């Protein structure tokens, strides 16, 4: 029986321009008041972490079952006037990628409010080994809690865990463990996906593989992930947390590349960052003790720009929970060219290390320094261009013009850990660099940082530096084609196959 979702009083209050409401939505076969148009729901779905875009949908779906989402997409696909559908996890996009104009935003985390914890299941399979089946709406922090209770863990984590599984897998899911295991999309065995035709499909690398590879890193263009089967391994309980300071960029990248190409007994996590003499204290000081901050500031006055390698070694595995000796730690960094004496070590629990960004979030929120505009620019830079990028972009342009307004990440990873059959795009070469200009706009002037981002991209183009942007959507059709390069043809073919009416994720601005 078709159940009308909209409460009569809500429908009667729609006047003027609000009559743009798609009448076919009134016939959606979903029980209860799950499809909402109230101001609170619309406002929430119109903004994201970036605090830049403001795109208002017609309605917001709060599903309590996967079938609610299936019915919504199917209704659009079968409608004479198809409407856009955008799956929203934690809204951690920065430029409206999870928004839709005159369509419906699906609040994926609503699935977890009814079935909290029940959509995370851990299995030891004789063929696949250990894995967890996880609802696409689940946050990685909840996956961490559930798996650690069994002494297990996924192998790759994003720096911030309060993101949904479906959200990070739609992009790639990059973290400091990726040099060893690839991004999160390289560690998925199977998916349940709602395609743009409103079909719920199970797929893997051997079963309906075209959809499987399309969705992983596919920016939400081919389907909404409702379940992911993720590889698990035995979890450590402790980490040795080491930070090394550099004043010489060539030594910094040389040591990074040596660390990430070492054998399997080496480090488990490697990332890197750039600290400038005028960098906002919040962008780096909270990562060090007061004594360390004082020493680094003195070094900064001498060199103006410093580079920091952050490296992690896991230990304390059950059942012995054995420690790691200082000699073993020192051997990992033997022969490196960091500034003498500027190596900082500490021990932490595995959980505390993974949850470190949330701790900063808790500290910054009361100060009004978290919910501010974040016009980020994230890029993949080939190894062959990273020296030129540092000198011409970071040193000669950003530093000399005093334009650093947030943390700057710059670290190496390995391309052979990525699967080219997936939609995600990387530069050529075995090693490439992730560079993130993570602007945090305290003064509210995000437009000037946006101009800076465009100037950086323009300078890279002028210098012949091949840039593959990550988590970015302000492109023309031609720019998207250049972004995907040789993958564009198959990307477009997959769109026509799995979402021919261009219903899904219009906020990415690829086909819409």
Q: Catalytic amino acids?
A: 92, 159, 271
Distances (CA, A) of 36 to 105, 115, 143: 10, 20, 29
Quote the CA–CA distance of 5 and 54 in Å, as a whole number.
Answer: 26
Q: What's the CA gap between 83 and 72, in Å, rounded? A: 10
Nearest in space to 228 (alpha carbons), one of 108, 310, 110: 108
Give yes or no for a contact between 259 and 270, defined as CB atoms under 8 angstroms apart: yes
Instruction: List the one residue out of 493, 418, 469 whose CA is nearest residue 221.
Output: 493
Continuous segment of H or E residues that includes residue 225: strand 223-231
CB 336 within 8 A of CB 255: yes
Count the neighbouring beta carbons within 10 Å of the beta carbon of residue 234: 12
DSSP string, 63-120: -SSHHHHHHHHHHHHHSSS---EEEESS---SSSTT--TTSEEEETTHHHHHSTTTTE
The candidate with the shortest Cα–Cα distance to 182, out of 155, 163, 207, is 155
3-state secondary structure 391-426: HHHHHHHHHCCCCCCCCEEEEEEEHHHCCCCCCCCC
Radius of gyration of the chain, Cα coordinates, nearest whole angstrom = 23
Q: Given CA atoms 361, 363, 369, 372 in this order, what sign does their dihedral have?
A: positive
What is the distance of C-alpha 321 from the center of its chain?
A: 32
Pairing of strands 59-61, 104-107: parallel
User: Buried (b) or exposed (e) across 241-253, using 16+ Cβ within 10 A?
Assistant: bbbbbbbebeebb
Dist CA 72 CA 105 (whole Å): 10
What are the φ and ψ backbone dihedral angles of 59, each rounded to 5 degrees? -160, 165
- Record the tokens describing residue 504, joined without a space: 């899904």
DSSP class of residue 497 equals H
Please list, residue by residue across 73-101, b when 16 or more beta carbons sit within 10 angstroms of its beta carbon and e when fewer do: bbbbbebeebbbbbbbbbbbbbbbbbbbb
Question: Longest Cα pair distance anywhere in the chain, in angstroms?
Answer: 74
C-alpha 95/C-alpha 395 separation (Å) is 27
Cα–Cα distance for residue pair 81/97, rounded to 1 Å: 22
């Amino acid at each position: 029986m078709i159940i009308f979702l909209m409460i009569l009083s809500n429908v009667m209050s729609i006047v003027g321009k609000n009559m743009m409401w798609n009448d076919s939505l009134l016939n959606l076969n979903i029980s209860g008041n799950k499809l909402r148009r109230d101001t609170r729901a619309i406002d929430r779905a119109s903004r994201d972490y970036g605090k830049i875009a403001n795109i208002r949908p017609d309605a917001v779906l709060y599903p309590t079952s996967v079938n609610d989402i299936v019915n919504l997409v199917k209704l659009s696909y079968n409608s004479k006037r198809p409407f856009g559908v955008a799956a929203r996890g934690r809204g951690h996009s920065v430029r409206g990628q999870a928004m839709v104009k005159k369509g419906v935003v699906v609040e994926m985390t609503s699935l977890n409010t009814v079935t909290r914890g029940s959509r995370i299941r851990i299995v030891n399979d004789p063929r696949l080994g250990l894995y967890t089946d996880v609802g696409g709406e689940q946050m990685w922090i909840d996956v961490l809690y559930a798996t650690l209770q069994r002494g297990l863990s996924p192998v790759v984590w994003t720096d911030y865990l309060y993101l949904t599984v479906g959200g990070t897998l739609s992009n790639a899911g990059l973290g400091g463990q990726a040099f060893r295991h690839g991004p999160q999309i390289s560690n998925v065995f199977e998916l349940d996906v709602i395609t743009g035709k409103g079909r719920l499909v199970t797929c893997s690398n051997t079963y309906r593989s075209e959809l499987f590879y399309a969705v992983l890193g596919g920016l939400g263009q081919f389907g909404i992930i409702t379940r992911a089967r993720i590889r698990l391994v035995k979890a450590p309980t402790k980490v040795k947390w080491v930070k090394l300071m550099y004043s010489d960029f060539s030594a910094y990248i040389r040591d990074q590349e040596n660390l990430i190409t070492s054998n399997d007994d080496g480090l488990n996590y490697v990332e890197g960052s750039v600290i400038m003499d005028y960098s906002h204290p919040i962008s780096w000081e909270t990562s060090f003790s007061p004594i360390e901050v004082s020493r680094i500031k003195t070094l900064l006055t001498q060199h103006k720009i410093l580079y920091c390698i952050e490296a992690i070694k896991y230990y304390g595995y059950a059942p012995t929970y054995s420690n790691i000796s200082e000699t073993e730690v020192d051997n990992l960094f033997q022969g490196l060219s960091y500034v003498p004496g500027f190596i900082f070590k500490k021990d932490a629990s595995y959980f505390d290390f993974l949850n470190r960004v949330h701790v900063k979030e808790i500290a910054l929120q009361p100060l009004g320094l978290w919910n501010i505009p974040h016009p980020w620019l994230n890029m993949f830079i080939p190894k062959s261009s990273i020296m030129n990028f540092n000198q011409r972009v970071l040193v000669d342009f950003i530093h000399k013009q005093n334009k650093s307004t947030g943390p700057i990440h710059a670290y190496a990873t390995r391309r052979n850990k990525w699967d080219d059959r997936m939609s995600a795009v990387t530069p050529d070469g075995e090693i490439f660099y992730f560079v993130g200009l993570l602007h945090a706009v305290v003064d509210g002037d995000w437009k000037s940082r946006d101009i800076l981002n465009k100037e950086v991209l323009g300078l890279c183009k002028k210098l012949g530096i091949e840039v593959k942007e990550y988590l970015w959507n302000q492109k023309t059709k031609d720019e998207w084609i250049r972004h995907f390069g040789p993958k564009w043809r198959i990307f477009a073919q997959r769109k026509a196959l799995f979402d021919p009416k261009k219903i899904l994720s219009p906020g990415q601005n690829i086909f819409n």
